Amino acid sequence: MGQLATIYALRDPRTSEIRYIGRTVESSLQRRVNGHLADRLVNHRTKWLAGLKSLDQKPIIESLMVVSRELATPAECYVIAIYKSLGFRLVNATDGGEGMLNASPETRQKLSAANKGRIHTPKARANMRQAAQQRTTQYKHSNDTIIKLKTAKKDFVPVAATAQSRLNNKARTHCIHGHEFTPENTRITNLGHRDCRTCRKGIGRRADARRYGKSPILEKTPRTYCKRGHKLSPENVAITPQGERRCRLCRAFLSQQHRERRRSQ
């Protein structure tokens, strides 16, 4: 089933009435209760918990069901809808799920008014700065990982991303074989791409020569730009064992993509 999530309920210790439905991926439900008690937001749930804290009491948490993380959102919404239909006075601000799902207009207006012009105090900013520093110093890379990161950064050649390359191609003035994109030499395909008429004529003549033998086979014009728009200068060209030319920047870009996919697995 993969990673699991727990749909839980918070009961009022004075009446044993269920007042809140939530979900968590933590293994300890008591830790989730402590998180609720430490919440500084102002809403129905925190006000109810503040009333219990003033009486030196805590809510009673109990597990309702355990589902996979993929089913956690619909399961939480379903349980909240069931308990609301049975008349339970839930302090949930929404119908469940991620974020403010189906919150009432009054709730949205209150949240908007409460957050407008909100400025953290110097003490709060100092606490957030200290917490961020602890997060960065708590998890340190191993020496092997540091060496790998340095090596990857040293060997990496920055190249334009695929989307940026497409934008650059639109601004190109010459095709990959060096022919200028003049109005007479430019053909727009059905997909909206620019096509070089001189190159198309050469491809047609070579195809006719191979198919019908009407004309001698023409030598293929060597490319001056790769398909991503990099100039095929002598410094940027690598020769494969088969004798083919390859763009070094493209190879570095593809190698970087491969390393990122391996890290994410």
Whether 262 and 232 share a structural domain: yes
Whether 262 and 145 share a structural domain: yes
* Whether pLDDT at 120 is above 90: no
Whether 258 is in a domain gets the answer yes
Whether 155 and 261 share a structural domain: yes
Whether 257 is in a domain gets the answer yes
Which of 24-38, 135-149, 190-204, 229-243 is predicted least confidently? Answer: 135-149
Whether 111 is in a domain gets the answer no
Whether 159 and 71 share a structural domain: no
State the residue range of the domain holding 207: 177-224
Whether 46 and 58 share a structural domain: yes
Whether 150 and 66 share a structural domain: no
The rounded distance, in Å, linking the Cα atoms of 72 and 22 is 10
Angle formed by the axes of helices 248-264 and 143-155, nearest 10°: 150
* Whether pLDDT at 18 is above 90: yes
* Whether pLDDT at 59 is above 90: yes
Residue 24, C-beta contacts closer than 8 angstroms, at least 6 positions apart: 5, 6, 8, 32
Residue 160: its pLDDT value, please? 45
Whether 13 and 85 share a structural domain: yes
What CATH number should be reported for the domain holding residue 31?
A: 3.40.1440
* Whether pLDDT at 125 is above 70: yes
**What is the number of structural domains in the chain?**
3
Whether 59 and 45 share a structural domain: yes
Strand partners, 18: 11
Q: CB neighbours (10 Å) of residue 194? A: 14
* Whether pLDDT at 137 is above 50: yes
Query: Over the stretch 186-237, which tens digit does the pLDDT of each residue have?
Result: 888 877 778 888 888 777 666 666 666 554 444 456 778 887 778 888 888 8
Whether 208 and 263 share a structural domain: no
Whether 127 is in a domain gets the answer no
Q: How far is CA 116 from the centre of its chain?
A: 28
- Best mean pLDDT range from 26-30, 60-64, 129-133, 255-259: 60-64
Place of tokens 């096509």: 195
Percent of the chain with pLDDT over 90: 11
Residue that is last in its domain, among 78, 102, 126: 102
Whether 211 is in a domain gets the answer yes
Which of 117-121, 128-132, 189-193 is predicted least confidently? Answer: 189-193
Whether 45 and 90 share a structural domain: yes
Whether 21 and 54 share a structural domain: yes
Residue 75: what are its φ and ψ, rounded to 5°? -65, -40
DSSP state of 229: S
- Give the mean pLDDT of the chain: 79
Residue that is last in its domain, among 45, 72, 102: 102
Whether 168 and 182 share a structural domain: no
Residue 48: its pLDDT value, please? 92
